[in-house]
């Protein structure tokens, strides 16, 4: 009978537990005092003091030692704080997530992308995105220069190629397939390559070369191979490379 009575008493205390009182207690411990905790909560100090007193009465133990000048946590209060503080923090995070999820996006969204990707793929997507979120304003910066996203206030960057080591968050949105082409005039004047090694003897127009050098990763008879090439013409714009009609090999 005694065990049943104790169990009923514990269940009653759990039912009577006010989570606001628990949150107030956690704030008091974290701020080492009632006054600062009250300022953070935006309530009078007396409200926080009463909340902790109610909590102590509910759990049946003293959680804090109070004097006119000092406040300290009892051993029971310390153990209780260690158990409930992470739970209170999780509740706060969950509340912030719900609030953020229910709010209509608004403000300015700054997006950067290379010229070709922006004009070929993003124009319709940006219009649909703006229609979906009417409170947002979109500023699209099309440039082949790699901007510093932090210092230049960029929210989203669309990039092609391999991601360099970065602390930024990246998501794959698609795959671009590239092929080799020769202009008709070049094909008439030169014998086209039949092996990857023969590419080094041809004049190359390439995208993204550095100091006139580029490495192409191509599929050969033995699988993926990398070919190091010297470029006759290098450019940072796919449109220029694709549109070339002079007698050189082109990458598009």
Q: So where are the chain's domains?
A: 2-101, 107-157, 180-251
17-50 pLDDT tens trace? 788 889 899 999 988 888 888 888 888 889 999 9
89-141 pLDDT tens trace? 888 777 766 555 556 778 899 998 888 777 777 888 888 888 888 888 999 98
CA distance linking residue 87 with residue 78, whole number of Å: 15
Q: Nearest to residue 23, comparing CAs of 2, 7, 10, 40? A: 40
Output the average pLDDT for the chain. Answer: 79
Beta bridge partners of 216: 227
Topology at the third CATH level for domain 2-101: Arc Repressor Mutant, subunit A (1.10.10)
Determine contact, residues 51/38, Cβ cutoff 8 Å: no
First-last CA distance in the chain: 85
User: pLDDT higher for 31 or 211?
Assistant: 31
Topology at the third CATH level for domain 107-157: D-Maltodextrin-Binding Protein; domain 2 (3.40.190)
């Amino acid at each position: 009978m005694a065990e049943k009575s104790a169990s009923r008493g514990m269940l009653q205390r759990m039912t009577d537990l006010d989570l606001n009182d628990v949150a107030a207690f956690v704030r008091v411990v974290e701020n080492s005092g009632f006054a600062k905790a009250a300022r953070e909560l935006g309530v009078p100090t007396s409200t926080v003091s009463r909340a902790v007193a109610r909590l102590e009465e509910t759990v049946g133990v003293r959680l804090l030692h109070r004097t006119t000048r000092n406040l300290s946590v009892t051993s029971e209060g310390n153990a209780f704080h260690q158990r409930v503080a992470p739970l209170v923090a999780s509740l706060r995070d969950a509340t912030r997530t719900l609030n953020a999820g229910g709010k209509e996006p608004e403000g300015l969204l700054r997006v950067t992308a290379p010229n070709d990707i922006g004009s070929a793929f993003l124009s319709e997507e940006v219009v649909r995105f703006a229609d979906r979120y009417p409170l947002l304003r979109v500023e699209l910066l099309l440039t082949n220069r790699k901007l510093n996203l932090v210092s230049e206030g960029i929210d989203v960057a669309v990039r092609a190629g391999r991601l360099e080591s970065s602390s930024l968050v990246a998501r794959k949105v698609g795959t671009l397939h590239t092929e080799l082409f020769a202009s008709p005039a070049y094909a008439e004047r030169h014998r086209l390559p039949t092996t990857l090694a023969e590419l080094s003897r041809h004049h190359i127009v390439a995208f993204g070369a550095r100091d006139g050098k580029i490495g192409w990763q191509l599929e050969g008879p033995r699988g993926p191979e990398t070919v190091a090439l010297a470029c006759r013409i290098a450019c940072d714009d796919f449109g220029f490379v694709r549109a070339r009609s002079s007698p050189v090999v082109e990458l598009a």
